[in-house]
């Protein structure tokens, strides 16, 4: 493949990937040339790869250059459009975080098994299954020593929301898991979800099972917030951030 052909291929790959990610508005962005410094770095990589000892790595280097260029384009596209990709997932201030509109897929109540009276359940997963909610949202692993203290199922306080909450204790330590299921409602006039208290600073993303989990702290305690279909999910309590991540990992095992 000639250098010109490789250049043409690189541009097509970058533009196609960007359009898939950002949609039609990518065509509205201004032309963006890479900086001379960036071009020199890419040329240096390719020149190094042309050395006989490194020849077998040529395609790897070219791919790395393509990925680097794509990352630069994505960054430029985001800035040029004035679009904060984080705000697609959540909205936050120094003190609160909430899921952004569009993260919840409202579910038709007729697709669930909602009893007239809440039943007796031994754990959070059993309660969700009884209501016909089968998405993976409940951790299969808890930090050692935590035992369930209280299980709440509330399908009456809010007409468009079913709340499932479990609270666990380990001595004086407390751990809470809450799953809010949002129902489709023709009269819905708001897409405001739960507001969660947080410490100052931006959330950290934690990707597992194809789901982005947003991690923050509140009064120094780890908090996780994410959406899965009609479910808004949260975990918080007297645990470490590593334990929180292990709980999230166990959901998808």
CATH value at residue 169:
3.30.200.100
Query: Which of 54-68, 167-181, 211-225 shows the lowest per-residue confidence on average (mean pLDDT)?
Result: 54-68
Element of type H or E holding 218: strand 211-218
- Tens digits of residue pLDDT in 225-243: 999 999 999 999 999 999 9
What three-state secondary structure class fits 117?
coil
* CA nearest to 184, candidates 154, 209, 161, 207: 161
* Residue 214: per-residue pLDDT: 92
* 186 and 160 in a common domain: yes
**Is the domain of 167 the same as that of 57?**
no
Q: Which of 33, 52, 83 is the last residue of a domain?
A: 83
Residues 150 and 246 in one domain: yes
Angstrom distance (rounded) from CA 139 to CA 216: 18
Considering the domain architecture, whether residues 160 and 44 belong to the same structural domain is answered as no
Question: Same domain, yes or no, for 100 and 201?
Answer: yes
Q: Do residues 73 and 98 share a domain?
A: no
CA–CA separation, 9 and 40 (whole Å): 19
**What pLDDT shows up at residue 152?**
93
Last residue of a domain, one of 21, 49, 83: 83
Residue 245, C-beta contacts closer than 8 angstroms, at least 6 positions apart: 206, 215
- pLDDT, tens digit, for every residue of 148-191? 999 999 988 888 899 999 999 999 999 999 999 999 875 554 45
Same-domain pairing of 91 and 75: no
Whether residue 72 is found in the same domain as residue 95: no
Q: 70 with 118, same domain?
A: no
What pLDDT does residue 87 have? 53
Residue with tokens 């509205």: 28
Query: Does 59 share its domain with 109?
Result: no
Any idea which of 24-28, 139-143, 193-197 has the lowest mean pLDDT? Answer: 24-28
Domain that holds residue 45: 3-83
- Mean pLDDT confidence for 202-227: 93
Per-residue model confidence (pLDDT) at position 63 = 46
Domain count, the chain: 2
- Kindly state whether residues 67 and 105 are assigned to the same domain: no
Residues 159 and 212 in one domain: yes
**pTM, entire model:** 0.65
Last residue of a domain, one of 83, 101, 116: 83
């Amino acid at each position: 493949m000639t250098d010109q052909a490789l250049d043409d291929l690189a541009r097509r790959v970058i533009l196609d990937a960007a359009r898939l990610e950002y949609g039609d508005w990518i065509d509205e962005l201004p032309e963006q040339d890479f900086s001379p410094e960036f071009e020199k770095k890419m040329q240096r990589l390719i020149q190094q790869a042309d050395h006989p000892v490194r020849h077998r790595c040529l395609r790897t280097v070219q791919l790395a250059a393509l990925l680097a260029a794509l990352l630069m384009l994505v960054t430029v596209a985001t800035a040029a459009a004035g679009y904060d990709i984080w705000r697609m997932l959540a909205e936050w201030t120094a003190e609160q975080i909430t899921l952004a509109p569009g993260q919840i897929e409202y579910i038709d109540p007729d697709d669930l098994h909602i009893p007239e009276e809440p039943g007796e359940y031994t754990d959070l997963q059993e309660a969700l299954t009884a209501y016909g909610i089968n998405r993976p949202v409940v951790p299969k692993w808890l930090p050692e020593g935590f035992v369930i203290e209280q299980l709440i199922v509330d399908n009456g306080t809010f007409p468009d929301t079913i709340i499932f909450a479990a609270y666990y204790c380990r001595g004086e330590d407390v751990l809470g898991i809450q799953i809010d299921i949002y129902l489709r409602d023709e009269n819905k006039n708001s897409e405001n979800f739960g507001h969660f208290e947080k410490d100052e600073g931006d959330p950290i993303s934690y990707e597992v099972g194809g789901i982005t989990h947003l991690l923050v702290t509140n009064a120094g305690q780890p908090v996780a917030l994410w959406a899965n279909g009609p479910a808004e999910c949260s975990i918080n309590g007297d645990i470490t951030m590593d334990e929180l991540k292990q709980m999230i990992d166990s959901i998808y095992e």
